[in-house]
Amino acid sequence: MYFMTPEQFQFVKKQAKKILNTYTTSNDQKVIQAIQALVQEEIDDKLTFGEIEQQIVLQPIFHIQSKEQLELFLKDIKQYVEPFQQPTEAELKKLFPKDKKLKLPKLELFDWQETSYLSWFDAGTNRKYIVYREDGALKGVRGTFSNSAKVGICTVCNQHAKVGMLLVSKKGLDMGTYTKRGNYICDDSGACNEALSDLEKFTNFVNNLK
């Protein structure tokens, strides 16, 4: 049944908006056909279809001419998105054993079909937590987060957004020494997930923190 991941769904959503924008701004059929062909090519590069029925599901994307049609299309295809496997509270606590008073987010509030990674901020400790799956295994990183309140490029989703600096401390080679690694990421992790259509950028980000 599933043939898309959350980040692939976000990618298709961007392509659908591209089609809508083309119909909204141009009456030139050659321009419209060129964008349709480009979208088809990009979808074929991004998604792997196991059967022809999966391709048929996405065909309405090429005729989206209103916001209502866009919303209906996204609602129809969302059932084919494999949700991020929701972790249990016990699993999250096990990821961060040093944090004895770990403050967890309300997991029931997340839309797991639009979540590529789980993240939350604890204002009491000024820490930001990031939880993801790698080859099926649940992994996590946490660091101090300084909200800069400025607009910049997020390292994870590559979009212009309000960003802050996430710094992760790691033990150095010499006893008692630490190294800090980090980068600017979105202040709003929900919006970051919605903008994330290339998981490679996220993978590179968390790998650089290790």
Q: What is the pLDDT of residues 88-100, one digit of tens each?
A: 999 999 999 999 8
Rounded mean pLDDT of the chain? 94
Q: Are 129 and 169 in contact (CB under 8 A)?
A: no
In this structure, how many other beta carbons lie within 10 angstroms of the beta carbon of residue 57? 17
Q: What is the pTM of this model?
A: 0.92
Tell me the residue type at 191.
Answer: A
Domains of the chain in start order, with CATH, are 6-80 (1.20.1280.250), 89-209 (no CATH)
Question: Residue 177's pLDDT band (boundaries 50, 70, 90)?
Answer: low
Exposure b/e, 186-200, CB count within 10 A at least 16 = b: bbbbeebbbbbbbbe
Phi (first) and psi of residue 24, to 5 degrees: -75, -35
Of the candidates 120, 123, 122, the one whose C-alpha atom is nearest the C-alpha of residue 131 is: 120
pLDDT at 191 over 80: yes
Q: What is the pLDDT of residue 173?
A: 66
What CA–CA distance (Å, rounded) separates 186 from 87?
22
Question: Residue 171's pLDDT band (boundaries 50, 70, 90)?
Answer: confident
